[in-house]
Every structure is written in structure tokens, then in C-alpha cells.
Amino acid sequence: MEPLSIVIFIFILLFSVIFHEVAHGLVAERLGDPTARYSGRLTLNPIPHIDLFGSILLPAFLFWAGLPVLGAAKPVPVNFQNLRNMKRDTILVSLAGPATNFLLAALAGLIFRYSPGLSDMGAALLLQTVSLNLVLGLFNLVPVPPLDGSKVLASILGLIDENLMFYFFQFERFGIFLVYLLLVAGVLFRILIPPLLILFKVFTGIGYPSGLF
């Protein structure tokens, strides 16, 4: 990557993960839990959202290893016990982040498709936005703790047996190591690539460009 491309990539990644986390907090607040607001996390100011591992070390390591670069903001605090309907609302709060990434990807794709006379830089910026947000949305739906998909799965298990839900949540503290291993082994990317290619074509109308991500 050229220096300018790296700067643009970091900018898009940073604000994509911030929108993701703020969405969690806003939906949680609407459903009864104001923890994120009281913690000062319902802001687009990047400083409160920067996480040493997810925002700096993980992207740097993946870039150094030649793997597709992913990142994360500091998770917005949510007290799921404050939610009016914990099992249902946990699903809604957890899906808010990935849904926001898919919405950002769709908006960027629409602008790309229906803006005549786009410069090469403008087109590249929009395609990078689509790609990054699709990857973030799909990645977070993987049902491995502490990703959002794991909370959705835990809530579904809770509809069967509440003890299963809380038992599953206990794995969150160890799940990050499993996510890390799956990333380094390339397993997660092999899972994500097929839906990524399909959704990218749907949102942009073109095939996935080589070297974009």
C-alpha cells in the first residue's frame, strides 16, 4: 500500500468501528440500558473508543503478517440485565453494530453506482468503504465469543434454557484467544470470503477488485 492509501484505509476503518460501537450503545439505550451514555461512549470522537489491542496492535500485526487487516474499537459497555426483555433485546443490541456496517456499505455502494464522473480517488474511497464495512459486519456475526454473533447465539440458546445462555457467556473471557488463532490460521477469512464477494457485487454492481483488501 502507498502511504496515502494506508492513511485512507485507517481513517475508514477507525470510523467504521466507531459507528459500529455507537450503534450498540444507542440501541441499548432505547431498550432500557443507558450505560454507554453514562460512560461517555455515545460520541464519534475517536479518543474514547480507541482500544490498544483492537485498534492498534491487531491491525498492525495483521498488516505485518500480510493478512487482510481488521480492527475493533473498545467495546461499548452494555449491562444486558438493564434491558427490558433481556433475551430479545440482547439480540437486537448485538445485531445493531453489524447492521450499521452493512448500512454504511450499502450507502457507499449506492453513491458509487449512481454518481457519474467519480474520480479514481473517489471511486477507490467508496469501494474501500464498502469492502471494509462488509468485512466488519460479517466478521462480527461469527458466533465465537466475544463477537456479536456469539451474543445472538447465546440469546437463542437462552430461549431454550436460560442456563445455557449464561453458561455460553462465561466463555467470553477466553474467546478472544480463539478469534486470534482463527485469524492467524486464515480460517475466518476463508469463511468470510464467499459472502463478502456476493454482497460486494450486490452493493456495487461490480466484481471484487484484486488488491482492494
Active site residues: 21
- Under DSSP, is residue 131 helix (H, G, I), strand (E, B) or coil? helix
Select from 35, 119, 118 the least CA-distant residue to 79: 35
Helix pair 3-30, 86-114: axis angle to 10 deg: 140
- Under DSSP, is residue 41 helix (H, G, I), strand (E, B) or coil? coil
Mention every residue, 6+ apart, whose C-beta is less than 8 A from residue 129. 12, 16, 104, 105, 108
| Residue 58 grid cell | 491487531
CA dihedral (113, 119, 124, 127) in degrees, to 10, reads -10
CB 130 within 8 A of CB 105: yes
- Under DSSP, is residue 115 helix (H, G, I), strand (E, B) or coil? coil
205/125 Cα distance (integer angstroms): 16
Select from 95, 87, 101, 92 the least CA-distant residue to 12: 101
- Under DSSP, is residue 196 helix (H, G, I), strand (E, B) or coil? helix
